[in-house]
A and B are shown apart, each in its own frame.
Chain A
Amino acid sequence: DTEVTQTPKHLVMGMTNKKSLKCEQHMGHRAMYWYKQKAKKPPELMFVYSYEKLSINESVPSRFSPECPNSSLLNLHLHALQPEDSALYLCASSQITRDRGREQYFGPGTRLTVT
């Protein structure tokens, strides 16, 4: 099973709302990722979790708050977002390894619209 699931599929939120995106994988992967993808652009890395600890934050604004409650789950908490944060948010997972070639498996994404 190489599936990464994400909920919700679509989310519309106001700039004062608080919402969360969820991601789950059952492949035993110990690295999990959040990406942001704007229309007609490649995905941009936001965060990397390694063994449930945050290992990379690509200078993401604090209105995005990631959380990894266990080895299978990854959340992205959203608060006070701006309209320019509207995008497709992708979750991915991979094995932990010194081999750079380990592939990432992506979920279907959450389409976020900030009004």
Chain B
Amino acid sequence: AQSVTQPDIHITVSEGASLELRCNYSYGATPYLFWYVQSPGQGLQLLLKYFSGDTLVQGIKGFEAEFKRSQSSFNLRKPSVHWSDAAEYFCAVGVLRGGGNKLTFGTGTQLKVEL
């Protein structure tokens, strides 16, 4: 069975500083990986996805992520954090099931941005 681990429950960074959120996955085949962001009381917004090809993927809002098969990781990065980036971030692995695409989420990382 697939699983996702986000080892950091909370992260605090200063505005303008760089950010890296960690994600490790476990899956027996080629993984399909996603990062979603959720503001309080809101739905999830897709930041970026990895299917195949270039291991460095670009997303919205200046985020990028790098897939490293050897480390089973898909870490999210941003060179300069803005106060509006404060939110909950979820990494997920997708598997085909029941005609749909079942997402297994990590437990999330809460990002706080200090002004």
What is the interface of chain A, defined by CB distance below 8 A to chain B?
4, 6, 31, 33, 40-43, 45, 48-51, 55-56, 88, 90, 92, 94, 96-109, 111
Task: Scan residues 10-50 of chain B and give those whose CB is less than 8 A from a CB of chain A.
Answer: 32, 34, 36, 41-46, 49-50
Could you tell me the distance between the alpha carbons of A45 and B49 in the complex, rounded to whole angstroms? Answer: 19
A42 in contact with B101 given A101-B51, A108-B42 (CB within 8 Å): no
Query: Is the beta-carbon distance between B99 and A55 smaller than 8 angstroms?
Result: yes
Please list the 9 inter-chain residue pairs (A to B) with the smallest Cβ-Cβ separation, ordered nearest first.
A50-B99, A55-B98, A42-B105, A101-B51, A101-B32, A31-B100, A56-B98, A106-B43, A106-B44
Contacts from B to A (Cβ < 8 Å): 32, 34, 36, 41-46, 49-52, 90, 94-103, 105-108
Which residue of B41, B100, B106 is within 8 Å of A50 (Cβ)?
B100
Q: Evaluate contact between A105 and B46: CB separation under 8 angstroms.
A: yes
